[in-house]
């Protein structure tokens, strides 16, 4: 057999204490049962954040990161990326809710608040080295992974492609020579059931294969007080993932991963939180959402921000289908004792849906959408060492074709009603050349020098929605046709001081780049859909990592200061004719600063405590337009809070192993995590709620045997959280009328995993 390459193998990061506390809670294998979860957590963990030819210890790498191994993800009963949303400081991995499976990720206060697929994400998602070109189709179900890595801060050098906020790196399990198989079944109190399996092993002397299959049937969680249904939000999801590795020689390997999947679900589950508007004389000016619902027989509806009740007349639907092929070639070379890696990837994603945007028991604002996306990318890189210098360098190319169409049904917006369809097409190409050198100045000091040159081109044809030039099958004509290019050089300078084998301090200065773009959901005939100017970021960070008391205490911290020029935002403004106007533009220059701290302490051989805390603060330095929507640009705009910036996130947790002798081990996990409230819209009228998340699990693994059984609970305090909170006009629900997609509340379930 050929050698197994670290550049393509499992590498996970463990930085946050909350992750450590969750390592094997309720999901440890039989081999670990005797050892105990606490001992396993403290084992060395390898990382590939710097894309070296060989993996590195996380505690030795000057990177602020959080990671989950495949075992950790199983222990957490992780269904999708959103399941991890509250488990890291200054990180939000939320689904926007407008269109299911659409990422609304934010790291350190940098994120987007839009489901428009032409808006480039600030937090990039990479699957097996493939960059996901749009936010849609990202929050899909997860199973059989080697790990997930979340890198905080701009990653515009080695990862590139507009990741000014951070990067989420997903690694699926790779084929190996040793035979193994895994089966998992689980269900919850609301019958969100999963059946999944994988089988892995040698096919021949030079070929290893792996086949993963996953099926999830979610029978819904929410109550619709208008229809009486208590199964709103149901979905049906499946995917298959065949993969194989071929040892081409003693020094070369080819790894191919394929995936095809589909999701069929209800449309958006959303609440309208509007209240009645009264004149000074007490007369009713505009009815609230409850009063409108009352006209249709809904007399007892709690639409407050601590209620999960919805009153929709349209269940809607969402259908997603995707296919992808990712090939990774690794070749060892004598030059610098390095490795050449080439990742060629293709992905196709199609989605159609219908959503009840007014979130009322009437048809006032409903929307049909269609997304078609195809992308092709290639990354060629080299990693090696020349004496005291470790070098990583490469070139990257990305091409994407995108079609987006939206039909708005607005029967009450004008006499006779309005039914408009718009959207368009966008061709998108990106290229980058990058290099990073880590130079050992002596035994203690390491100097990092790096840079990336990026160029992007976009060609857009857009039909404004009220002009009504399209159907969901395509557009007869376009009222906007344009192309634009952007480019930037993003350097990095860093310094690492290794105080001892188990302690370091580091600092770096770097820049990030986010190309401009176009608004494919243009709703105003007087508004040009672009292009926006590119957004540029300058970041400075100081951090430290240390292990104390013979490794029984681990602490990590980071302080950061980011300045953003020409911040790109989607402004959501209520409008009585089109429901909501979305305007994409450069709104402001801003400064965001903050801190993160994580600790993990082993109190005894069977008890471990964790702590994590994140703080972020931001201000506008200069506003470039009317952010507040009051028609003037003044101190009101300058004093607004930056959207999606939650000041405090923190959490505590514990893991306890209880040995049952020859019977096995009982592992208990308890975690509490908090996130502050934050504005969703730029004008600060839409808010995301403060939330306290309490999770637990109790797991059993036998001393001899290959199964694990877990009882778990998520969001035990039944906290209401939102995907977004977009303001609607007063004629659709009164004061504070809103489109507010909801996330699930309390969920309890049981999971059985069996390994051969």
Could you tell me the CATH number of the domain that includes residue 670?
2.40.170.20
CA distance 139 to 125: 10
Using an 8 Å Cβ cutoff, are 68 and 78 in contact? yes
Query: How many domains, the chain?
Result: 1
* pLDDT at residue 21 in the model: 35
Quick check: is 746 in a domain?
Answer: yes
Question: Per residue in 602-620, pLDDT tens?
Answer: 998 899 998 999 999 999 9
* pLDDT at residue 48 in the model: 62
Nearest CA to 106 out of 654, 638, 594 is that of: 594
Structure-block tokens of residue 62: 């000057």
Of the CA atoms within 13 Å of residue 503, those in its CB half-sphere come to 10
* pLDDT at residue 293 in the model: 95
* pLDDT at residue 52 in the model: 72
* pLDDT at residue 17 in the model: 38
* pLDDT at residue 42 in the model: 58
* pTM: predicted TM-score of the whole model, two decimal places: 0.92
* pLDDT at residue 377 in the model: 97
Question: Per residue in 361-396, pLDDT tens?
Answer: 999 999 999 999 999 999 999 999 999 999 999 999
Quick check: is 134 in a domain?
Answer: yes
Q: Phi and psi dihedrals of 736, rounded to 5?
A: 75, 20
Quick check: is 587 in a domain?
Answer: yes
CA distance 513 to 539: 11
* pLDDT at residue 77 in the model: 73
Using an 8 Å Cβ cutoff, are 615 and 581 in contact? no
Positions in the chain short of pLDDT 70: 1-48, 53-56, 58
Measured CA to CA in angstroms, residue 192 lies from 24, 189, 198, 218 at distances of: 23, 8, 20, 4
Quick check: is 423 in a domain?
Answer: yes
**How far, in whole angstroms, is CA 319 from its chain's centroid?**
20
Quick check: is 285 in a domain?
Answer: yes
Quick check: is 684 in a domain?
Answer: yes
CA distance 259 to 327: 12
Question: Per residue in 131-183, pLDDT tens?
Answer: 999 998 888 888 999 888 888 988 888 887 878 889 999 999 999 999 999 99
Quick check: is 1 in a domain?
Answer: no
Judged by DSSP in three states, 441 sits in coil
DSSP states of 552-597: TEEEEEEEEEEEEEEEEEEEEEEETTTEEEEEEEEEEEEEEEEEEE
Domain with 401 in it:
6-755
Total length of the chain: 756
CA distance 2 to 248: 7
Burial of 617 (0-12, 13-18, 19+ CB in 10 A): middle
Quick check: is 19 in a domain?
Answer: yes
Preceding amide of 482 cis, omega within 30? no
């Amino acid at each position: 057999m050929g050698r197994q390459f670290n550049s393509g193998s499992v590498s996970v990061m463990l930085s946050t204490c909350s992750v450590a506390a969750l390592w094997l809670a309720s999901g440890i294998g039989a081999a670990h049962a005797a050892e105990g979860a606490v001992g396993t957590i403290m084992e060395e963990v390898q990382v590939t954040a710097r894309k070296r030819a060989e993996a590195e210890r996380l505690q030795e790498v000057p990177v602020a990161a959080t990671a989950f191994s495949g075992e950790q993800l199983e222990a957490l009963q992780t269904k999708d990326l959103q399941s991890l949303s509250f488990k890291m400081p200054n990180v939000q991995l939320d689904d926007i809710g407008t269109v299911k499976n659409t990422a609304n990720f934010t790291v350190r206060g940098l994120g987007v608040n839009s489901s428009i697929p032409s808006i480039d994400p600030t937090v990039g998602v990479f699957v097996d080295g493939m960059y996901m070109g749009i936010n849609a189709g990202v929050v899909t179900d997860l199973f059989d992974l080697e790990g997930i890595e979340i890198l905080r801060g701009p990653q515009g050098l080695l990862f590139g492609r507009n990741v000014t906020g951070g990067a989420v790196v997903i690694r699926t399990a790779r084929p190996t020579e040793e035979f193994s198989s895994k089966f998992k079944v689980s269900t919850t109190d609301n019958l969100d059931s999963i059946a999944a399996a994988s089988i892995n092993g040698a096919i021949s002397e030079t070929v290893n294969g792996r086949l993963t299959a996953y099926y999830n049937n979610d029978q819904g969680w929410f109550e619709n007080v208008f229809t009486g249904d208590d199964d709103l939000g149901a979905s049906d999801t499946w995917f298959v993932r065949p993969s194989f590795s071929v040892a081409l020689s003693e020094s070369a390997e080819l790894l191919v991963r394929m995936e095809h999947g589909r999701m069929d679900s209800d449309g958006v589950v959303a609440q309208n939180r509007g209240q009645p508007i009264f004149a000074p004389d007490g007369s009713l000016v505009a009815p609230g959402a409850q009063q409108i619902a009352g006209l249709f027989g809904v007399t007892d509806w709690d639409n407050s921000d601590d209620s999960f009740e919805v009153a929709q007349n349209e269940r809607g639907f969402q259908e997603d289908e995707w296919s992808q092929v990712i090939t990774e070639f690794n070749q060892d070379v004598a030059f610098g004792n390095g490795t050449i890696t080439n990742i060629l990837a293709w992905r196709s994603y199609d989605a159609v849906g219908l959503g009840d945007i007014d979130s009322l028991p009437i048809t006032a604002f409903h929307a049909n959408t269609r997304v078609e996306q195809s992308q092709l990318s290639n990354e060629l890189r080299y990693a090696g060492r020349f004496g005291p210098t470790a070098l990583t360098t490469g070139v990257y190319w990305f091409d994407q074709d995108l079609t987006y169409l939206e039909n708005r049904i607005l029967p009450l917006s004008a006499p006779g009603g309005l039914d408009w369809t718009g959207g368009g097409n966008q061709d998108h190409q990106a290229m980058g050349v990058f290099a990073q050198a880590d130079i050992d100045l002596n035994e203690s000091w390491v100097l990092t020098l790096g840079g990336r040159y990026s160029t992007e081109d976009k060609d857009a044809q857009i039909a404004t929605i009220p002009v009504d030039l399209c159907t969901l099958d395509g557009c007869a004509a376009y009222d906007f046709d344009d192309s634009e290019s952007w480019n930037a050089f993003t350097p990095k300078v860093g310094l690492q001081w290794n105080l001892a084998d188990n302690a370091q301090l580091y600092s770096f200065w770097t820049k990030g780049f986010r190309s401009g773009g176009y608004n494919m959901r243009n709703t105003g005939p007087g508004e040009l859909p672009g292009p926006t100017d590119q957004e540029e970021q300058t970041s400075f960070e100081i951090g430290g990592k240390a292990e104390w008391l013979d490794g029984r205490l681990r602490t990590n911290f980071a302080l950061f200061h980011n300045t953003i020029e020409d911040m790109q935002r989607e402004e959501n403004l209520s409008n009585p004719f089109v429901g909501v106007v979305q305007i994409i533009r450069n709104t402001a220059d801003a400064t965001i600063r903050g801190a993160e701290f994580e600790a993990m302490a082993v109190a005894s051989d069977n008890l471990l405590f964790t702590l994590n805390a994140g703080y972020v603060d931001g201000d506008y330095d200069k506003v470039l337009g009317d952010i507040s929507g009051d028609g003037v640009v003044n101190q009101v705009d300058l004093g607004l809070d930056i959207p999606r910036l939650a000041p405090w996130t923190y959490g505590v947790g514990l893991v306890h192993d209880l040995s049952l002798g020859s019977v096995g081990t009982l592992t208990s996990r308890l975690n509490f995590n908090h996130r502050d409230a934050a504005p969703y819209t730029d004008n600060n009228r839409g808010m995301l709620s403060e939330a306290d998340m309490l999770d637990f699990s109790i797991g059993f693994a036998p001393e001899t045997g290959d199964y694990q059984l877990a009882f778990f609970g998520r969001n035990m305090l039944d906290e209401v959280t939102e995907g977004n909170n977009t303001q609607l006009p007063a004629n659709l629900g009164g004061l504070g009328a809103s489109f507010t997609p909801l996330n699930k509340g309390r969920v309890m379930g049981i999971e059985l995993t069996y390994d051969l």
